[in-house]
A and B are shown apart, each in its own frame.
Chain A
Amino acid sequence: DTEVTQTPKHLVMGMTNKKSLKCEQHMGHRAMYWYKQKAKKPPELMFVYSYEKLSINESVPSRFSPECPNSSLLNLHLHALQPEDSALYLCASSRSPNTGELFFGEGSRLTVL
């Protein structure tokens, strides 16, 4: 079962709102990732968690705050976002950090008004 589950599938929020994106995998993978993707562009890496610790932050603005409560869960907390932050946010996981294959969720489509 190569499944990464993301919720919600769609989210609309105002610039003053606080919301969270959630990701879950039960494949025993020890690395989890957040990517941001604009239309017709490749995914851009935001954060990498290795063994539940943040290992890579690609200079992402602090209005995006990741959290890894346990090895199966990954959250992305959103606060004071800008309209240009509207995008598809993808969660992925891999068996080991930064090796091998990444398996992606279906994504959360975020619209910031």
Chain B
Amino acid sequence: GQQLNQSPQSMFIQEGEDVSMNCTSSSIFNTWLWYKQDPGEGPVLLIALYKAGELTSNGRLTAQFGITRKDSFLNISASIPSDVGIYFCAGRDGGATNKLIFGTGTLLAVQP
């Protein structure tokens, strides 16, 4: 099925560093969601975005809905070891079924 391009594929950082990841699409989206998934668990919703240009924060996490509506960014400030996991973006393209399409994921590893 269709997937969103998400980058980077993986990141290995030191505790305390800031992290940035992004998601791009060839088509316009009307909703962007960011999820975090721990091994063996289901994805947990972090942030939801509904308007172009929208910037939303959830604690140390900040996400933005790109102004072109074809991309979204997630930033994590002052990373901690429990930030480890796979981060997925997901978007709805507003088509006939408006299905949720997932990005390829970013694996984050944080060295204490």
Contact = CB atoms under 8 A, between A and B. Distances in A.
Interface of A: 2, 4, 6, 40-45, 48, 55-56, 58, 88, 90, 92, 98-107, 109
B98 interface: yes
Nearest to B50: A100
Given A42-B3, A42-B88, A102 B40 contact: no
B1 interface: yes
Interface in B8-47: 31, 33, 35, 40-45
B104 A42 contact: yes
Contacts of A56: 97, 99
Interface residues of B, number: 25
Contacts of B48: 100-101
A40 B100 contact: no
B55 to A, nearest CB: 18
17 contacts: A40-B86, A41-B105, A42-B104, A43-B102, A45-B100, A98-B97, A98-B98, A98-B99, A98-B100, A99-B92, A100-B31, A101-B33, A102-B33, A102-B100, A104-B45, A106-B41, A107-B42
B45 A102 contact: yes
B44 A104 contact: yes
Nearest to A90: B42
A88 B92 contact: no
